[in-house]
Structure 1
Amino acid sequence: MLFDQAVLAGQFLSGSYDSLHVHRENATFAGISVLISAVAAVLQRWPGRGPWWPILACLGLFGLIGLQIVLGFSRAISLHIPLGVAIILLATALAVWAWRHR
């Protein structure tokens, strides 16, 4: 969903104005997905005895997505686009860690 945000934004900037609505809706679903990931991180910690930092990472990512939504609605594109790239990179790093963690 986060990668799709970049694709949808690119489509919008290329003139496909319907993509903006899908971009907005997808942002909501991305935020919900990150909250579900936070629940999974809590379950990994208790009772799974996993590390605690993925909980904070997911909550931090959720906060960044919230900020991203605010920046998008305020049309602060000079901050919105780089933050979107950072969110995608952070989420990718978290996903790679999750799939490699034993």
Structure 2
Amino acid sequence: MPSSVLTAGPRPSPPGLPAGGPRVTLWLLRFVAFVHAGLVVGQPVLAGIYLSGRFDALATHSLNAGLVMLACMCQFGAALVYFLPGRGRGWPLLVTALLFFGEGIQTAMGYAGQLAVHVPLGVAVVTAQVVFVVWLFRAGARRPRRTLRRQPKAGERA
């Protein structure tokens, strides 16, 4: 086995990037996404309570839907801070925007009583948010995004 594999430490950051990648902004995104995930996971629990005969749980399910949307907006803000000043990856912004769109459709389908769309979309939203939170606690979330370096033109010095 090559000795470089055994002694490899953290990769040095390119000039202009923070030394270890996003730190504070990542923890902010983790916290907000974790709260959002808790609210999202609570939705099927509240629906199950309603379906078991406690009809007042439908009002709580509806209230929680509004909180889920609010938490998703906060998650978008945290993902934006993670991306711009935190120099983190950009795809969490896209994932959060898609989740917000899906949650909006989810809420509309619930109020319209369209359970054929409401239930499977709910499964997709819960799964996507939980997988997103798991990724946030993995090492890849700590790595700064790669910057594109301009290639020198013919005759230019690098």
Q: Does 1:15 align with 2:53?
A: yes
State the alpha-carbon separation in 1 of the partners of residues 120 and 51 from structure 2: 15
Question: RMSD across aligned C-alpha pairs, in angstroms?
Answer: 0.7
Q: Aligned residue pairs: how many? A: 102
State the alpha-carbon separation in 1 of the partners of residues 55 and 84 from structure 2: 45
What is the correspondence of 1:46-57 to structure 2 with a 5 Å cutoff?
A: 46-57=84-95
> How much identity, in percent, do the aligned residues show?
36
State the alpha-carbon separation in 1 of the partners of residues 121 and 83 from structure 2: 28
**Which amino acid counterpart does residue 76 of structure 2 have in structure 1?**
A
Q: Which residue of 2 aligns with 1:72?
A: 110
**Which amino acid counterpart does residue 33 of structure 1 have in structure 2?**
A
Q: How far off is 1:14 after superposition?
A: 1.2
Give the number of the structure with larger relative contact order, counting CA–CA contacts within 8 Å between residues 6 or more apart.
2
Q: Which residue of 1 aligns with 2:80?
A: 42
Query: Helix, strand or coil for the counterpart of 1:15?
Result: coil
Q: Does 1:82 align with 2:120?
A: yes
> TM-score, with normalisation over the residues of structure 1?
0.97
State the alpha-carbon separation in 2 of the partners of residues 41 and 83 from structure 1: 23
Poorly superposed stretches of 4+, deviation over 4 Å: none
Query: Helix, strand or coil for the counterpart of 2:137?
Result: helix
Alignment counterpart, residue 129 of structure 2, candidates 91, 96, 100: 91
- 5+ long unaligned stretches in structure 2: 1-38, 143-158
- 5+ long unaligned stretches in structure 1: none
> TM-score, with normalisation over the residues of structure 2?
0.63
> Highest CA radius of gyration, 1 or 2?
2
State the alpha-carbon separation in 2 of the partners of residues 50 and 39 from structure 1: 13
Query: Helix, strand or coil for the counterpart of 1:48?
Result: coil
State the alpha-carbon separation in 1 of the partners of residues 131 and 42 from structure 2: 17
